[in-house]
Structure 1
Amino acid sequence: MTTLSDIKDTNLSGFNHIDALLSEGPDWNFLGVTRPYLSYTFSIASGNEEDQGGQSAFSPSQQAWARKAFAYLSDVTGVQFQETTIGSSAQIHLAQINIEKENVTGLSSWYTYYTPPRSTWGSALVSDYRANAYVYLDNVEFRAENADLAPGGAGYQVLLHELGHMMGLKHPFEGGIELPYEDDYTANTLMSYDHLDEVYYSTYSQYDIAAFNFIYGGDGLRGKYGMGGSMEYLTGTEGDERLSGTARNERLDGVAGDDSIDGLAGIDEAGFGGVRAHYDITKIDGSYVVTDRVGDDGRDVLTNIESLVFADRSMSLVYESVVQALYVGYFGRAADYNGMQSFQQQLNALGAPADLRGLADAYSKHIGLRGLIDSFASSAESAALYPGNTGTFIKALYQNVFGRAPDAGGLAFWSNAIDSGGLSRANASLSIMAGALDNKTTQGMLDAKLVNNKLSAASGFTLMIDTAQEIAGYSGATAAASVRSMLGTLTPSTDMLAFQSTIGATLKVMSLGIAKPAAGVGDDLPIAHAELIGIGYQPWEATLV
């Protein structure tokens, strides 16, 4: 539904390179969803702009190149365009005229129509919104340039400039928000008048793309992204920068350069131009680090981001941390690829808390969540790892989590809680892990630092798995022992940036099928381990065994 404020108030991004290009219209997103495309015409027989005469039609050659421009504009914005020979049926009209000013080579104008609602409040609904736009090329002073609209020439750049106006962009030197003088040139935006080179552009520049993304989201009229969608689309520039979101749901694209991206509140995505296989993903100091190995996306540090969007697929980060905590706490190793995917899906289906403390608190209140977490204790891997009594189990958990034996008081407390029936083994692991992160004693803070290092390394390991060979390589007792051994080398003072090479080397050896059994983590643990849990199970199953 379109409201009066949708039409009258220009929504802003908070980024100067975007907001300096946003005009007040023509607000194509608010036409509605009954016809998810815009019609354009070269006809001058009908549908012409009122009070504008002297139109002449585009030549066949101009029409052919204009069609190419519309196809390119569709690729950029996601908006679909359909040609019509009936001028009165089109929203976009292209023609040649003698533009009055002698130094003006192109012109775009637009009009919107709607019946004012009875209420003047911003939330008042507008039911009959319509818009028309007119794109003119001069056929007198600039006749020669505009007659040739082939890409690479002045005429094609002028056409892109005017189509930019038609799609809602303004000059960066006009209006209440302007680009800094030093940024106002065509290599940044085709809406500029200033050239720092002798090049005529055949594609939109970086600021234009960012503005189009903000308005249309790359997925067309009324899509998921952009104005009128469920997520705003914020695009950075080609330099190194910091991008911060808001309380709203957003997609943030850092583009080129090394960027720091913080989604803040809301449900947020980080977007990348390449396919998943071209990026390394790891986790350092609580932030996800995504590094482009192939292109120029650089190295981005992500905070408060719930999912990653690549050219070929998306990756959810929701529940990634808590799933790793469950695996590290109970099994002393990183989650395997399929186990991570399945547990994320099941936790999401259960509406479980996405933080470790919240998960521990919800365990006793949610039967479905309790069954899922208890599946760790009922797995074959658990039976192989922990064949002894409760005391032996607690010692093994402490070794997994803290790399040390429990103090006498801790051993007695957790053993009694389990043996009395007040706490399951799986929830004991969850509670010990959560408690470690809240402990502010001297030892507790050391423990917390170690736990965070183990969780970061475990995340980095699982996130690095992105090929079928690597997925298959992390399977079986030997592979599990190798990863358990790797995490066992961490200390509270480990340089986690330097440790990434150890993670990569461990995965490489494993994917080549030459991993060797590691030394036992503790005397109480068995030599042989069961297969990894989570392999081959589908979403929505009650347990993973």
Structure 2
Amino acid sequence: MNNYATLDHLPDLSLSQMDLARSLTFLTHFATGMAWDRVASVSGLNSAALLHSVYKFTAVEGATYDLFSTSYFDPFILRIFDSQGNAIVANQESDDGSSIYLSGVSYEQDVIYNWVAPYSGTYYVEASWNQGNYFKYYSLQIYEDKDTAISTISAGEGVANLNAGKPKPSTHGLTGDDIIDAMTTGYKWSLDATRVIDFSISSGFNGEYWKSPTEVAASLKAALATFSEFANVKFNDLGRFEDPAQAALAGSEINLSLDSEWTFFSAKTQWARAFFPAPSYSQTPYTDAAGDVYLNINSKANTLPSYSPGSAGWFLLLHELGHSLGLKHPHDDGGTGRPTLSDIGFDSLDIDWATIMSYNDEAFTNLVKWDPATPMVLDALALQYLYGPNMSTHAGPSMHVLQDKDLYTTLWDASGTDTLLLNLANEGWTIHLPDIQLSSSVNTLVGLAAPTDDLTLSAPSSLTWLLGNMENVIGSAYDDVVHNNGLSNEIDGGGGVDQVVYEDDLSAFQIKRTPKGVEVTDSVGITDTLQQIERLVFDDMGLNLTVKATASTLPGSTVTRIMELYIAFFNRIPDADGLEYWISQARQGLSIDRIAETFYAAGTQYEALTGMSNSMQDADFVNLIYRNVLGRPEGADVGGLQYWSQSLESGASSRGTVVSTILTAAHGFEGDANWGWVANLLSNKVTVANTLAVDWGLNFSSPEQAITQGMAIAAAITPNDTDTAIELVGLPSNPMG
């Protein structure tokens, strides 16, 4: 008879529903300020209602669970069923969570709060999401708090659970893969079919004991779980023992213990020590010492201010467990003649945010934050080589929330179409979607995500390595930068001025405006779908996707006059970002003459390119404007030079008003039999400027390039030809509408 009630008024699950239910896997939950230990989730994007979706998960007797179902409109159903398919818990509308906002869009939630699992084993959850025919986000998240769970460890010492695995210490040779060889010792656990390594904690050989053994055991279990996320290895908790020898006798491969007599330390100040999974440690210094970890209780390691994820205490535990699983320091040969990161030219990655095995920590004075919370990128690759990748981690479509947590993590996603979500970020981020294979023997692709401002720091406040195939991004309310990876990316920039970066020249892509944004198609036909993206960046140039809309907010004559200022002062075509800036200044009330004065000041910063300087004489200035606007290589005629020089000297005119007047005069030549070409040349330069800077939104790779390339384009324009100048740019064949 069950020790819990069933909801007999609700329909049971069918055998077919239970057979087809997808499994949800619990992973460590790192958010600070929350009681949850682990989270299991599923998410995606869909435009239709998703009805009666059934998932299964494993719960622990006595543990407390909070379930959140999210969709665009109020979700229809959220229910929990036991292993026989009987309904046991159902969402009550009175428990519904408040609306949440993702990238500025409001979503509704169904919630089941504080459900306590009545037994350990399999449960099913049914969710129905209401998207209302809108292509929107949906998710189911199950948060677990195991502090209330019924303990499987007895009050006394001894084995709490049965020995599950029979791994053996073993050796492996050099691989010829520089990254793998620089990170591994040549030792590993040879696993049996269960893929299980048993672990435990124990008192020391000299009477040392843990003051909070339950807390220590929970930390060890959580730390090992982070390794399982990447590698095909499972960890089984055997409980607590009187000393390491007793733990080994019970079948524990990794035992965490204490040492106050420096029995296992080469220096009294050494914080901790772990034994590699080497066959030689099967007999010494005691039977089955391989894999065991010791904390030096007379060292600083025993009094660290925090042992939470992201702290120095947690980093220490991850580091020693790395040794237990066969990883070495990147700065030494591991005692087995292996190369260092320096040997293979990767000195810059010998740092804590690249590997938990490094001794280098730019934020070493802060013992509470800015340290790894999981194995880092090099560790994950090495673990996947040693034990194979865990292909169940985030299998299927997944939504991953990125935010600044003052710690470093690695996110491995085994399969499915995945979305990185920045809706909780409080600053702009840069995301390099995974597209680099660092290891020649592990085909996992690598990328990176971090707050943009942190990328210039030696010790970033937050950083997440991205491993696997990840496709989509929903940006923050701030300025984000996303580097595409050629996997048909769907990117919604959210708020701010957002950029998508492509690793090729603009001419290699086709760009198409759509009602929702822009589609970018590469040379092999892979198309990215972009929304709320303001800039595209290519190897040789970039595109401003907002300048056309900005230009439409001013009279066309004003925009034309600003473009003519570029021609008059620099004889160049404007870049889109610069043009948009001056359009915005004009919208705020800055006069054309004032803008012209600022142009002159800007030109003096690039004297070698523009010919302008702070010491430039009035006559030289007038000659320059005549050459640029009126197309006269020799400069002004005698009368014109005298007139404008005197006007400037007397103060009757400023350099800005001189330019505006000469520009107006140039248009007056239109249709003139002798001088009509002057007006035609100026009009053609404006036409090209409008095509490139407004219609295309063309930018160049640097201010210097904007000047030199803009001048080269302008120089190719004649009174009768604009095509030659546009062809110089090498734009894609399709016009961007």
Looking at secondary structure, tell me which structure has more helix per residue.
1
If each structure's strand is expressed as a fraction of its own residues, which one has the higher value?
A: 2
Per the normalisation by structure 1, the TM-score is: 0.39
Where relative contact order (Cα < 8 A, 6+ residues apart) is larger, the structure is 1
Q: Which has the larger radius of gyration?
A: 2
